[in-house]
Structure 1
Amino acid sequence: MKGIILFSLFCCLTIYHLKAQNNLNSIEIELINKGLEKSYALKKSIYELEIDSIQTRSIRQNFIPTLELDALYGYGASKINIDIPTVQMPITGIELFEGESEFDTQGQVVNTNLTAKALLFSGMQVKYGSKASEEKIRAKNFLLIAERAEIIKDIIDTFDKIELLKHSEIVISKSEDRLAKEKARVINAIDNGLAIPYDRDKITVAELNLSSVKLELYGNLRLLYLKLSMLTGVDLSTLEKYSFNLTPWKLEEDNNTFNDRPELKALDASVKAYDYKLKMNQNSFLPKIQAQASLSYSNLFNANLETPFSLPGGENVNLELNKFQLFPTYFVGVGMHWDLFDGLKNSNETHKTQIEKSIAEEEKTDAEEKLMLFSKKMQVNYEVKNQQLIIKEQEMLAAENSLNLAIKSYREGLISVTERLQTETEYQNAVLNYYKFVAQQRMAALDLLISTGSLEIENIKN
């Protein structure tokens, strides 16, 4: 029989993939959305994506012309020593530039340049650099989807645990009610000499045990509400008014496979990013061409030159300049920058990128194998949980019948109080086990959706 079940499970793996529908109510969907909005980890990832988007735009914007304005004002002075061949004047016989001559000069300068530059050809660096950056963003976006799926799973798991404890409380409360009635009947029987105090004491011990379990249950329930409040940002008093589903998940056919996992798509985008980075490195030998135009204003004023020479009358020969202005001065041209030899830096960078690409490809292959196995495992696990859930439901019904029979048999004196209380415990365990398996089946369904990249709000809302 076991072999037949396993064979049927294997057949199911080959004929369908799954998508969830109608498994969450509107309140649960709202809380999941609040959780996604509040998640600090998710916000951090989104901010990092925005930074990457800015960097991508910056790469493309290299082709946008730039306009620069610079201005300079200064005062300069210098002492000049020169020694040139002596020149003798033909009529006077005066010798000029005899020995070393010393000059003092000073003046003020103003210079202003307005320059426009435009990159015409980047050697394919901008094209491939921006594409590599885009693929990097795609990879992070896919990882963001995976991160969202884990947050959704965590919130739904918290719903299920809260509802499981609520069902446990109901089971315990009903047991307490039955024991209270049984105890009242036993006390009455003792008063009439039809029962012994032992039966009453055994029921009292069972009641105390249930009270202890209930106290622990309330503590755990409080912690789960605190966790849900932390995840969603909704206050405790509001959350405690909500009811959550704890019913088996129903999944329908879907075309997604493990190849649709966002982690695999992220690795694929990462490989493509390295492809573009490699092309960028391989084209670095191409020249960069830039157009440039400038308009400048220059002015040298209040300048003078003091010489050691004297005129025949004894007056020193000093030269003065009131203004020497250049405006407008235009320049328009195209420049080229070509790295003919960069000391093997680009060769090393290309080799490094090739290795990084190989690592990414190996990671992708490894992930494909592991995720394929994980997907198969999750499908088997989901089908097994469905089968087990049917069995646990039958166990619960059988335990309920046994409990009803035990209550009747105890009152008729056919079984002892110990057997009666044991049947009560078995019923409690059967009911709680059923709901535990419901929670496990729901988690198995979520894992199955994650294994095919299908766990998104759109796939699980009403």
Structure 2
Amino acid sequence: MRRHFLYSFCLLCVLSIGKIHAQLKEPSLKELVEAAINKDYRLANQRLDVALTEVDQRLLKEAYLPRVDISGKEAFLFSSFAVKSQEIQIPQLDIDIKTGRNRFSMVSNLVMAGAGGNMLLYSGGKIPHLKRALEEKVKAQTEIMEKDRQEIIGAITAAYDQLALLKQIRLVLDDSEKRLAENKKTADKAFGYGLITKYEHQKIEVAQAQLASKIQDYEGKRTLVLRQLFLLTDVESERLALINNGLNPLEGPLTDNNIENRAELKALDAAIEANRFKIKAEKTWFVPKVQAAASLGYLGLLGGHLSSRDPVSLTGEKLSAGMPNLNILPTFNIGVGFKWDLFDGNQGKREVQKAEIEFSKTKNERKEVEEKLELNLTKSQTDFTSALSQVQVRYKQQETADNALKQATKEYRTGLIKSSQLIDAEEDFQQAALGFIQAVYNQRRSYIDLLKATGNLTIQAIQ
């Protein structure tokens, strides 16, 4: 009963593990690229830059909306003033006021409240030009994002091709391992019969040890590439380990073999247009601006008190009396006004000069970038042509080395050549096979670089 239970439990575990592995699916190149684009932090920040510019666009659209504010203030008011009186004599009324000086002080609570609003009616043409400038700025930022997307495609395809390259290398090494194992058996028999020396017998063992070192190096490189892909995409490592892609030369029609589609040039063209509209906007500094305004207010003096320092002439006593409250309500105004800067200290003129300088700098930058992109395209075309020819040359070398290895294997087993000669043929074949694989990898990279140089690198173009 216990054995039956253990057997059932183990079977359940095996089935569960098999089910889990069955659910894992090898990620496609398209999935890896999309995952990397979604994760890339620089691209995410560029999306935020576009969002900030869009906020600026909304601010300009809302410039014509009315602005309303409410304000209030309560304060303690104190004032002091001196009064000098002249001599006044009226004998008929028995009035005789001598010359005198007195100082009066007044304290009160000041209360102010108000509500106001204003609305821009005409900006002198500045806001429409700034709107167009921001539209071009968004175009430029979007094109720069396309450039970075192509950079991401290049990085992912490079890692993806490296996995295929390593896979082909492992196949070559495995085949060499099998052949060396067979030849080791032959060498063991020959050494047992005294047909070869110990040195010749050890040559096979040394070759096996070197091959084992290459296999270990392969494992390390594959682990590194898989880690790189994980960091770029966040795709599960278990799924990345399932990648089993091939490595074949990339072929396809290379239309539009120029730099007109490069994102950098499109971005700079948009930046030039943005600067052009910026100049037009700054040149409106002298055009009158019109706005409507309205306000409603209240002013009050509460709890006032008036006092004197010396007795006043009429009563002979110091003055100390309360003041009546003063309430002014409402104070209301509404109207339309304009502002015309006839001379602003040359500030507007200097802003125009700065915008024109930025415009010239952007035009110069475009010329420089265009020259560099033309040179890069020429280099990419040359590298692609050279890579194509290298694939053909390396394939012929692999064929020749393969035939030589087959012949050497036959001769070794019949005792016509020594083990050192067989190992030399094996190493020559390894180098030729690995050289052909590397040539195919280089051809794929040069094809992708050429697509990038023309601005036409997409997943569809390389699948």
Q: Which TM-score tier does this pair reach, normalised by the shorter chain? A: 0.7 to 0.9
1:451 CA drift (Å): 1.2
1:39-58 equivalences under 5 Å are: 39-58=40-59
Q: 2:169 matched to which residue of 1?
A: 168
Q: List alignment gaps of at least 5 residues for structure 2.
A: 1-25
The aligned residue for residue 30 of structure 2 is 29
Distance 2:429 2:456 in 1: 37
Aligned counterpart, 1:8: none
3-state SS, counterpart of residue 121 of structure 2? strand
Inter-partner Cα distance in structure 2 for 1:449 and 1:147: 14
Aligned to 1:6: none
Alignment pair present for 1:455 and 2:457: yes
Cα gap change, 1:424/1:313 in structure 2, threshold over 3 Å: closer, same or farther? Answer: closer
Q: Superposition pairs for residues 378-393 of structure 1, below 5 Å?
A: 378-393=380-395
- Following the alignment from structure 1 to structure 2, what is the Cα–Cα distance between the partners of residues 88 and 130? 78
Tell me, in whole angstroms, the C-alpha distance in 1 between the residues paired with 2:92 and 2:295: 51
Taking the aligned partners of 1:285 and 1:448, their CA distance within structure 2 comes to 51
Matches within 5 A, 1:28-427: 28-83=29-84, 92-94=93-95, 98-255=99-256, 257-306=258-307, 320-427=322-429
For the 8 Å contact 1:378–1:448, the answer to whether it is kept is yes
The two structures have a TM-score, normalised by structure 1, of 0.87
CA distance in 1, matches of 2:90, 2:441: 116
Contact persistence 1:32–1:155 (CA under 8 A): yes
Change (3 A) 1:414 1:328: same
Tell me how many residue pairs correspond in the alignment. 437
Q: TM-score, normalised by structure 2?
A: 0.87
Provide the rounded CA distance (Å) in 1 between the counterparts of 2:91 and 2:290: 58
Distance in 2, Cα, partners of 1:331 & 1:275: 41
The alignment partner of 1:294 has SS state of strand
1:422-453 alpha-carbon deviations (Å, 9 max, x no partner): 11111111111111111111111111111121
- Would you identify which runs of 4 or more consecutive aligned residues in structure 1 move more than 6 Å? none
Secondary structure of the equivalent of 1:342?
A: coil
TM-fit CA distance, 1:66: 0.9
Classify the secondary structure of the residue corresponding to 2:285. Answer: coil
Number of the residue aligned with 1:18: none
Helix, strand or coil for the counterpart of 2:457?
A: coil
Q: Counterpart amino acid of 1:357?
A: F
Structure 1: distance between partners of 2:80 and 2:197: 127
Q: Is the 8 A contact 1:392 1:434 kept in 2?
A: yes
Moved more, 139-148 or 54-63: 54-63
| Partner secondary structure for residue 382 of structure 1 | helix
Residues 290 and 245 of structure 1: is their aligned pair in 2 closer, same or farther, counting only changes over 3 Å? farther
Residues of 2 paired with 1:59 and 1:41: CA distance? 27
Aligned CA distance change for structure 1 residues 337 and 384 (closer, same or farther; 3 Å): same
Q: Could you tell me how far apart the structure 2 residues matched to 1:34 and 1:370 are? A: 31
CA offset digits 1:385-438 (Å, max 9, x no partner):
223223322322232222212211222233332221111111111111111111
- C-alpha separation between the residues in 1 aligned to 2:186 and 2:175? 17
Are the structure 2 counterparts of residues 314 and 226 from structure 1 closer, same or farther at C-alpha, using a change threshold of 3 Å? same
The answer (yes or no) to whether the contact 1:396–1:427 under 8 Å persists in 2 is yes
> 1:112 is matched by which residue type in structure 2?
A
Deviation at 1:381, TM superposition (A): 2.5
Give structure 1 stretches of 5+ with no counterpart: 1-24
Shift of 1:305: 2.6
CA distance change for structure 1 residues 160 and 91 in 2, over 3 Å: closer, same or farther?
farther
Quick one: structure 1 residues 98 and 334, their matched pair in 2 at CA, closer, same or farther if it must change by over 3 Å? farther
Deviation readout 1:63-89 (Å, 9 max, x if unpaired): 221111101112212222133656666
Moved more, 40-49 or 93-102: 93-102
The AA in structure 2 aligned to 1:269 is A
SS at match of 1:299: strand
C-alpha distance in 2, partners of 1:287/1:203? 94
| 1:194 Cα deviation from its structure 2 partner | 3.5
Alpha carbons of 1:311 and 1:146: their partners in 2 closer, same or farther (altered >3 Å)? same
CA positional deviation for 1:190? 2.3
Q: What's the CA shift for 1:352?
A: 2.8
Letter in 1 for 2:40: S
* Deviation of the 1:317 alpha carbon: 5.9
Question: Structure 2 CA distance, aligned partners of 1:381 and 1:43?
Answer: 33
Q: Secondary structure at the match of 2:105?
A: strand
The DSSP-based 3-state class of the residue aligned with 1:414 is: coil
Give the drift of 1:153.
0.6
Deviates more, 1:78-87 or 1:168-177: 78-87
Q: Using the TM superposition, name which of 123-132 and 302-311 deviates more.
A: 302-311
- The aligned residue for residue 432 of structure 2 is 430
Aligned equivalents of 2:321 and 2:33: distance in 1?
Answer: 86
Q: In structure 2, how many angstroms separate the alpha carbons of the residues matched to 1:254 and 1:314?
A: 110
2:27/2:239 contact within 8 Å kept: no
User: After alignment, is 293-302 or 77-86 more displaced?
Assistant: 77-86
Residue 133 of structure 1: SS of its match in structure 2? Answer: helix
Stretch moving more, 209-218 or 321-330: 321-330
Cα shift at 1:259: 1.2
Partner of 1:13: none
Question: Comparing 118-127 with 375-384, which one deviates more in the overlay?
Answer: 375-384
**RMSD of aligned C-alpha atoms?**
2.5
> C-alpha separation between the residues in 2 aligned to 1:95 and 1:340?
61
Task: Give yes or no for the alignment of 1:443 onto 2:429.
Answer: no
**2: CA distance between counterparts of 1:337 and 1:87?**
54
Query: Could you say if the C-alpha distance between residues 329 and 402 of structure 1 is closer, same or farther in structure 2, counting changes exceeding 3 Å?
Result: same
Partners of 1:52 and 1:137 within 8 A in 2: yes
Higher relative contact order (CA 8 A, sep 6+): 1
How far is 1:261 from its partner?
A: 0.3
